[in-house]
Amino acid sequence: MTPDSASTLQASIDALPRLAPAIFVTGKGGVGKTTMAAGLVCAAVDAGTRAVLVEFGDGASGRRALGQARDRIEHVIIDPRRAVMQAAGPVFGSPLLAKIALGNFAMKPMINSAPALRELAVLELCRQTVVDNPGARVVFDMPATGHGVAWLRVAEQIGKLTRRGPLYDVCARVQNELLKPGRASIAVVTLPERLVLTETLELCQQLDEEVGLPVDRLVVNRVPPVPEAQALTDARRVAAAGGDVGAAAARLVEVLSVRSRMRAEVVEVLEQVALHEHARGLTRLPMAPADPHGPEVAAWLREAGAA
Amino acid sequence: MSRPQTYVCAGGGGVGKTTASAALALTLARRGERVLVVSIDPARRLADALGVKLGGHATAVQMDAGDGALFAMMPDPRDSMQTFINILFENEPEALERMLKNRLYQMLENAVPGMHELVAMTLTWRAVDEHEVSALVIDTAPSRNAVDFISYPDRLAKLLGGRAVTWLSALARSDGEQRPKGRAGKLLDRVLGPAVGDLAGFFGELARVRGRFVELNEGMAELLLGSRSSYLVVAAPTGAARDDAAYLIRRLEKLIGRPAALIVNAAMAPERAWAQTLSGASETTAAMGRAIELLEREAERRARASQKVVESLQRRHANIPLWRLPFVEALSPREVVEQLSTALSSLVPA
């Protein structure tokens, strides 16, 4: 890495944008979204701010990621399968009217196979959670991307489709009170691999351009530790001498070369990311050999100035 | 055409499901099978794992496959709805035109769950025929609900054949003027506004091609639910992957039956006798010593974490064979596939 790009990388880390009260944590599957979301709520609570972790599942992954901190954090679980009924009450005027309209023999199977409606209902419940918790940081652990961008666009699209009426009003509320810069931030979690990072940059651009929400944190998770360069030089010399020890040293050379080549690739890719216009708030987190918990991630985030 | 032996790999995100699927395909090819591996994972890692360019047609993969042959395919989810509608309305050009103009269709174009899977399986069905495939490996989307798509077309077929669609299509009749019937209809009209016509039109057009839909659905069921198909759940040694695996196993048992095996990726530490040799050798420098210590500490923590997860998986799913794969550190994804394939060759029953 040249000194110039090194300072660009450093500058982009130093000047991290401010996080809005609502934070959507997104990224592809298995990159550590839940852990990151848990880290963000723990960091807020440690700093004396109220915080809520919102999860769309059975609640098990959020509880696991919070670890010991689970007693101090408010944990809200939104069940997407029940979201339509929950969100529909105000739309139809009353829960009873909602039941008449949606419990209808034609509507029931339709709602079960209409994904956009369910996603809109989930967004409306997200909006309600933010409104119900003024002054608090509300962190949403979003489902894996692919659906992530589509999900955040659903309110805008259904709004355009309906143009008027109570369903349109829901869309407008979600757009104005939740999905506005300053009200919501996006944190994208990714891994230090070329392919994954390339996809992530596409995602950041989509979020910027199609959803209109800023990516205020781009978190590169599991950056592997690399032993000092001298070890590789020494191991090469010992390997060249041959014998049993030489053969063993050759294996060390193998492992260290893979690591240093991986590291070189990570640095190279991060340089490109740092120069990318849609990637702000670049943050690196270390690789942990075992599952890290929220308080541990909160400490890493504070260290990186990203909390 | 004889039906191929089918393996469906499912697992949560980031567990190495695609790499394991590619390795399984290579193992089967080395046994002399003509193998097709299809990825319906939108993350599109299969091309990377095999080091080839892939798309919606089966491509031959040049790897040492012994007497067998290896083909791979990775249909693009972004084209799915369009491909699907084209296939469905092959014989109904006017309905196709109306459908393409429907605003609900335009909005749903990329967002219908199960649609990509159904399209991919239709394309797979054609490729199996064309290349006389004897073994099929399917890499599903990294989700807890990855196997739910099996039931989705059936649900949709039932919906399209039911009273619901008749009722809804009626809303759009009389020269496009909406005539909501009854209280629910009026409410629907009030809530949806002008969108009610699009909704009714959308389902009305789909109902028209229901027969074709049922045909595609049956083709998919033949590949995925026949006596020659087995399901594999892939996990990694993390708490999240363990919970995803447990969830998937429950779903599978409910939908199809018990999975044939539970594959745990990165569950065995590589052999480290060399580290001991070096630790005791006078030639080892201080820098080398520190590097070895760092690597050993990391390997130990990983081994402990992995042991814990593997034990809990074994306890929870005692009746499912558990296949442990090694932790492979290599720069080229293809090399990882080769090494995992070697490990799998002693685990996959003939």
Spatial contact of B232 and B137, defined as CB atoms under 8 Å apart:
no
* Residues 150-209 (B) with a CB less than 8 A from some CB of A: 152, 155-156, 158-159, 162-165, 167-168, 183-184, 187-188, 190-195, 198, 203
Instruction: Note the pLDDT tens digit of each residue in B306-336.
Output: 899 999 999 999 999 999 999 888 778 899 9
Kindly state whether B43 is in contact with chain A, defined as any CB-CB distance less than 8 angstroms: yes
Residue B190 has its nearest CB partner, among A28, A165, A191, at: A165
Average pLDDT on A195-222 reads 87
Residue A185 has pLDDT above 90, yes or no: yes
- Cα dihedral A293/A298/A300/A305 (nearest 10): 160
Nearest-neighbour CA in chain B from A15: distance (Å): 30
E strand or H helix at B69: strand B69-73
Sort residue B175 into left (φ over 0), alpha (ψ -120 to 50) or beta. Answer: left
pLDDT in tens, A114-153: 667 888 999 999 999 999 999 999 999 987 655 567 788 8
Interface pTM, i.e. ipTM: 0.76
Largest Cα span, chain B: 93
Is B252 within 8 Å of B313 (Cβ atoms)? Answer: no
Task: Sketch out chain A's domains with CATH numbers.
Answer: 3-224+279-300 (3.40.50.300)
CA dihedral sign, ordered B12, B16, B18, B21: negative
Output the pLDDT for position A3: 46
**pLDDT higher than threshold 60 for residue B179:** no
Q: How far apart are CA B89 and CA B106, in angstroms?
A: 16
b/e map A208-220, b = 16+ CB within 10 Å: beebebbbbbbbb
What are the residue ranges spanned by the domains of chain B? 5-78+114-149+227-272+314-345
| The dihedral sign for the CA sequence B54, B56, B62, B64 | positive
A87 touches chain B (CB under 8 A): no
* pLDDT for position B174: 46
- Out of B43, B164, B283, the one facing A28 most closely (by C-beta) is B43
| Amino acid, single-letter form, for residue A155 | A
Q: Round to the nearest angstrom and report the end-to-end CA distance of chain B.
A: 22
Find, among A245, A296, A240, A286, the residue nearest to A46 by Cα.
Answer: A296
From chain A, the residues in CB contact with B167 under 8 A are: 105-106
pLDDT reading at B283 higher than 50: yes
Closest CA to A68 of A292, A306, A289: A292
Angle, vertex CA B31, rays to CA B29 and CA B37, nearest 5: 25
Spell out which residues of chain B touch residue A62, defining contact as CB-CB under 8 Å: none
Q: How far is B4 from chain A (nearest CA, A)?
A: 30
Q: In chain B, positions 245-264, which contact chain A (CB-CB < 8 Å)? A: none
The residues facing A304 across adjacent strands are: none
**Measured between beta carbons, which residues in chain A are less than 8 angstroms from residue B195?**
158, 161-163, 167
Q: Which residue of B has its CA nearest to A226?
A: B291
What is the CATH number that goes with domain B5-78+114-149+227-272+314-345?
Answer: 3.40.50.300
Kindly indicate the confidence band of residue B3, based on its pLDDT and cuts at 50, 70 and 90: confident
Mapping DSSP to helix (H, G, I), strand (E, B) and coil, where does residue B267 land?
strand
pLDDT tens across A2-41, in order? 444 455 555 555 578 899 999 999 988 888 999 999 999 9
Q: Do A92 and B191 touch (CB under 8 A)?
A: yes
A151 Cβ neighbours under 8 A, 6+ residues apart: A119, A122, A123, A142, A143
Distance (Å) from the alpha carbon of A180 to chain B's nearest alpha carbon:
22
Q: Which residue has the higher pLDDT, A15 or B81?
A: B81
pLDDT digits (tens, 9 = 90+) for B5-42: 999 999 988 889 999 999 999 999 999 999 999 999 87
SS (H, E, C) A139-197: EEECCCCCHHHHHHHHHHHHHHHHCCCHHHHHHHHHHHHCCCECCEEEEEEECCCHHHH
| Span B154-174, pLDDT tens digits | 777 777 777 777 777 776 654
Q: How many CB pairs (< 8 A) connect A and B?
A: 194
- Spatial distance between the Cα atoms of B170 and B182, rounded to a whole number of angstroms: 12
For chain B, say whether A234 makes contact (Cβ under 8 Å).
yes
Q: Which residues of A touch B193 (CB under 8 A)?
A: 162-165, 167-168
Residues of chain A contacting B162 with CB distance shorter than 8 Å = 109
Q: Do B43 and A110 touch (CB under 8 A)?
A: no
Q: How confident is the model at residue B263 (pLDDT cuts 50, 70, 90)?
A: very high
